[in-house]
């Protein structure tokens, strides 16, 4: 199966351009050659190479990125949904990825990892699960991720769109032109110089300074703008909606909880009549395993008894978008 996965990885097509080499990282004592941690692979990589973290029950240690790379894992929430990967396959978890100024234009996708950016620009971060810290950066796109905390400082032109955010959002006064659109947020928001539109915000508070705030659905009955409490407005924000009226599920530890009810007040409440939250807009968050656009093997049937010199194996594959 490992050889088949490697062949599939070498045939990648889609939105990520892969150049030169694919460097595999695996800490499972494999017989096929692979790096055992991200720093080893990074140090041998050339700009434009891809580092691919394979699934493991043991987290990979933190590493530093100082060159333009594509960094990918097998995806997250693999065992919450059927038909995305082999049953029981663990995620690829990395303690932290530190992206420095020399690593502009880097892509990170499909990993359970905390991501800390300091100085790099023009980044794409998607289909990840973890904390994101953006410092001294510009032209960053963060989408289709499950974010446990978001912090933005000394940053310009950052788009946070179609994510589920289950922690606080902190944009300080040095951040400018921060777009927070079509997210489902469970946490407190403290935002300077931001545009918050078409979001669902529950179990928290919103404190806004020099920020636009429109067409959001809130589970609390007021928010603060410029230090003044707002209990009603003319910006089409819907206040005081019970969470039980918004979402379908009872509590779950993954993203399934945040699926909208058919009768949810968030449906059609966004600017232009679109749904608010992560599943609204032109590029909605899709509930399922969050995976980068690479092929994956979700079925492998191997006979228990082999007769003769041949063996019939059934493999199911899918192309992720």
**CA atoms of 198 and 216, how far apart (whole Å):** 5
pLDDT score for 128: 97
84: left (phi over 0), alpha (psi -120 to 50) or beta: alpha
pLDDT score for 320: 67
**CA atoms of 99 and 93, how far apart (whole Å):** 16
pLDDT score for 29: 76
Residues in the chain: 321
pLDDT score for 302: 59
Helices within 209-273 (DSSP H only): 243-246
CB contact set of 60 (below 8 Å; sequence gap of 6+): 25, 27, 37, 38, 53, 92, 93, 94, 95
Per-residue confidence of the chain (321 residues) as pLDDT tens digits? 233 333 333 333 333 444 479 999 999 876 577 899 999 999 999 999 999 999 999 999 999 999 999 999 999 888 877 766 656 678 899 999 999 999 999 999 999 999 999 999 999 999 999 999 999 999 999 999 999 999 999 999 999 999 999 999 999 999 999 999 999 999 999 999 999 999 999 988 999 999 999 999 999 999 999 999 999 999 999 999 999 999 987 666 788 889 999 999 999 999 999 999 999 999 999 998 787 776 655 455 556 666 667 766 666 555 566
Does residue 22 contact residue 5 with C-beta atoms inside 8 Å?
no
pLDDT score for 292: 78
What tokens were used for 172? 């300080």
- Residue 162 neighbours by CB distance under 10 Å: 25
For the chain, what are the domain ranges? 144-292
- 161's enclosing H/E stretch is strand 156-161
**CA atoms of 281 and 285, how far apart (whole Å):** 9
266: left (phi over 0), alpha (psi -120 to 50) or beta: alpha
Long-range Cβ contacts of 265-270 (<8 Å, 24+ apart): 265/217, 265/238, 265/241, 266/200, 266/217, 266/241, 269/215, 269/217, 269/236, 269/238, 270/182, 270/197, 270/198, 270/215
């Amino acid at each position: 199966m490992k050889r088949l996965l490697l062949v599939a990885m070498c045939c990648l097509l889609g939105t990520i351009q892969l150049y030169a080499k694919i460097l595999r990282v695996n800490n499972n004592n494999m017989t096929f050659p692979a790096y055992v941690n991200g720093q080893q692979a990074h140090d041998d990589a050339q700009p434009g190479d891809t580092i691919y973290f394979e699934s493991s029950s043991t987290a990979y240690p933190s590493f530093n990125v100082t060159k333009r790379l594509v960094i990918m894992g097998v995806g997250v929430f693999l065992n919450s949904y059927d038909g995305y990967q082999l049953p029981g396959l663990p995620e690829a978890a990395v303690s932290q990825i530190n992206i420095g100024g020399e690593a502009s234009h880097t892509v990170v996708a499909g990993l359970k990892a905390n991501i800390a950016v300091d100085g790099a620009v023009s980044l794409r971060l998607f289909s990840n699960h973890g904390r994101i810290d953006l410092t001294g950066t510009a032209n960053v796109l963060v989408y289709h991720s499950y974010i446990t905390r978001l912090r933005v400082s000394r940053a310009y032109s950052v788009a946070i769109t179609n994510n589920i955010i289950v922690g606080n959002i902190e944009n300080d006064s040095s951040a400018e032109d921060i777009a927070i659109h079509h997210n489902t947020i469970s946490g407190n928001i403290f935002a300077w110089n931001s545009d918050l539109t078409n979001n669902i915000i529950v179990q928290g508070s919103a404190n806004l300074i020099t920020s636009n705030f429109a067409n959001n659905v809130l589970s609390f009955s007021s928010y603060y703008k410029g230090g003044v409490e707002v209990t009603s407005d003319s910006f089409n924000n819907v206040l005081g909606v019970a969470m039980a009226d918004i979402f379908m599920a009872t509590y779950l530890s993954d993203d399934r909880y945040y699926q909208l009810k058919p009768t949810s007040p968030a449906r059609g409440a966004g600017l232009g009549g679109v749904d608010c939250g992560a599943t609204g807009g032109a590029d909605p968050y899709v509930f399922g395993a969050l995976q980068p656009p690479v092929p994956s093997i979700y079925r492998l049937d191997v006979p228990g008894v082999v007769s003769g010199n041949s063996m019939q194996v059934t493999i199911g594959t899918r192309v992720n978008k």
